[in-house]
Amino acid sequence: MESIQAVKGMNDILPGQVEWWQKVETTAREVLENFGYREIRTPVLEKLELFSRGIGESTDIVEKEMYAFEDRRGEWLALRPEATASVVRAYIQHNLQADFTMQKLYALGPMFRRERPQKGRYRQFHQIDVEAFGVDDPMLDAEMMYMLRVFLERIGLSGVVLHINSLGCPQCRQEHKVRLQGYLETHQETLCPDCRKRRHTNPLRTFDCKVERCQKVLEKAPHLLGSICEPCGTHFERVKDHMEQLRTPYLINPRMVRGLDYYTRTAFEVITDQLGAQNAVGGGGRYNGLAQDLGGPDIPGIGFAIGMERLILLLQQQQEEARRMPKIFLAAMGERARTHAFLLTQELRAAGLETEMDYEGKSLKSQMRRADKYGVSHVLILGEEEMDKGVAKLRNMAGKSQQEIPLEDLPAAMKNL
Ligand code: AMP
């Protein structure tokens, strides 16, 4: 019978890989919690309307990429393509602002977009998502980007650049839209069919287009940063001042627009040149109107998401293995020794030591090979001879030195290694 494969673009994360994930998740939790963020977990399935209203009807995500379906009772649902809309929904639904207006939340988990799979782009992928509500001050924008930098440094990622931009507010965006439409009008012959459509529906999205001839046209297009209003301009200046105060390097990129409609003012992306076409490791920005658009109070918000697959691909290119293996291996020969080794293994584990043993009755040579493959620091050898003497041989794998330890002194002796 033909074996069943996973859905295209959706990956298993196997032992040997999962250690990277654990490292990233642990470091993320540590850093985020130091900055005052608390975890929130929301469902992967939401009402379709949440995303079409939240992200924007004429974005690629909503138009082309969502896993949306009608359930058995005719309700339209979608697998979440990103986390912000869900977190905002939860914030409103549970009235979190009643507790503190200012809420700092983070979520880890899978997102779903039906894109064309390639290296760094999958249909199920994972994000570290960070959201802060209730503060409009540019200090928070800078703090968030600083925190992102601290996280990436703590995890040891190098060779990435932080791009920042301001996307203005609905007012300055409207004026820019008219100007951009005018410009695109004069170049419409050159534009791809998608961009010709976007010109009417959502001209800012043309900046996202990957088609080369469109990118050429857009090189000279009027960008938003050049025409943001005074309050938006002041906000951006203050963000930059705080970034300098925090000694956090950035590059101003007036062409970065982000793929979602809800952003206002500050937008940012962490860019790499080490992943081919998928050059964004993470990104985010301010979304001051989103809570209101989703039927909640007028509360400002800002957030970002890091793509875990891309982050891990980069880390794997840059770092040694993150594999976690047992520290101690018990090699036993003969029934009596094996039975004792079984008990000892459990005792060492219960005492907090990562320990592994052979369950298959393999030869000593084969057991030593396995211990070597695991990269353990110590092997405890137990045979008939050792059992008679009431000892175990402790071999230090690094120094290859060997000593005898009375059985009654184990596991205490091991804990003192
Ligand atoms: P976005 O919500 O589109 O700004 O995405 C934020 C981050 O999620 C990106 O910078 C990527 O690292 C990651 N990401 C987005 N889409 C995918 C995908 N299809 N596969 C893998 N990672 C993705």
How far apart CA 10 and CA 18 sit, in angstroms, is 15
**Whose C-alpha lies nearest to ligand 1, atom 16?**
121
148, two tokens = 């992102």
> Domains of the chain (ranges plus CATH)?
18-169+228-319 (3.30.930.10), 326-416 (3.40.50.800)
**What is the per-residue pLDDT for 205?**
85
**What is the per-residue pLDDT for 267?**
97
Place of tokens 């206002």: 264
Give every strand in the sheet of 124-133, ordered side by side.
38-39, 103-112, 124-133, 301-307, 280-286, 264-272, 160-166, 251-252
Residues within 6 Å of ligand 1 by CB: 82, 113, 115, 120-122, 125, 127, 259, 280-283, 305, 307, 309-310
Question: What pLDDT digit, counting tens, does each position of 340-368 carry?
Answer: 999 999 999 998 899 999 999 999 999 99
Partners of 165 in the beta sheet? Answer: 267
Asked whether the beta carbons of 161 and 271 are under 8 A apart, the reply is yes
Which distant-in-sequence residues (6+ apart) come within 8 Å of 177 by Cβ?
A: 203, 204
**What is the per-residue pLDDT for 324?**
63
- The identity of residue 79, as a single letter, is L
Is residue 322 predicted with pLDDT exceeding 80? no
323, two tokens = 């594999």
Asked whether the beta carbons of 415 and 353 are under 8 A apart, the reply is yes
Question: What pLDDT digit, counting tens, does each position of 174-196 carry?
Answer: 888 889 999 999 998 999 998 99
**Whose C-alpha lies nearest to ligand 1, atom 17?**
121
Over the range 205-228, which residues count as b (16 or more CB within 10 Å of their CB) and which as e? bbbbbebeebeebbeebebbbebb
Question: What pLDDT digit, counting tens, does each position of 13-61 carry?
Answer: 999 899 999 999 999 999 999 999 999 999 999 999 999 998 888 888 9
Distance (angstroms) between ligand 1 centre and the Cα of 118 equals 12
Cis bond upstream, residue 411 (ω within 30): yes
Mutate which of 124, 274, 309 to test ligand 1's pocket (most atoms within 8 Å of Cβ)? 309
Give every strand in the sheet of 68-70, ordered side by side.
45-47, 76-79, 68-70
- Output the CA torsion 192→194→200→202 (10° steps): -120
